[in-house]
Amino acid sequence: MVLMPFLQADGQTKNRPALVLRVMPPFGDMLVCGISRQLRHQVADFDEVIADTDADFVSSGLKDTSLIRLGFLALLPVSEFLGDIGSISKDRHHRWLCRLANYLREPTLES
């Protein structure tokens, strides 16, 4: 879990926590998904809440129950990285990678 600036829908940039999914070649840019406290934006069977009762919540560095938003992806250079705030369990990270891979494999309307 890291802190990074994200471009918002209103054009403003906001520093927010993010889950690093992968470090990407060739320059080591980070593929991340944004994290929000706006639980009402949760997409069922896609996003995931990390609650203060979860075993890996304390190690995450998050302050409140939050929503890990798989639909809020960004590829950001390491130079944008503002700091490391914590970590999640290996199981949760693996689940996120599988969820993204499965979604990308699904046929689209254009296919």
Tell me the pLDDT tens digit for each residue of 57-69: 999 999 999 999 9
Domain ranges, residue 100? 2-105
Assigned domain for 111 exists: no
Assigned domain for 110 exists: no
Q: Please name the residues in contact with 71: beta carbons below 8 A apart, sequence gap of 6 or more.
A: 33, 43, 46, 47
Q: Is the pTM of this model over 0.85?
A: yes
Assigned domain for 85 exists: yes
Examine the pLDDT at 106 and tell me if it is beyond 60: yes
Assigned domain for 77 exists: yes
Lookup: tokens for 38: 């706006």
CATH number of the domain encompassing residue 62: 2.30.30.110
Q: How many domains does the chain have?
A: 1
Assigned domain for 83 exists: yes
Tell me the pLDDT tens digit for each residue of 14-38: 899 999 999 999 999 999 999 999 9
Strands across the sheet containing 2-7: 48-50, 66-76, 29-36, 13-24, 2-7, 83-84
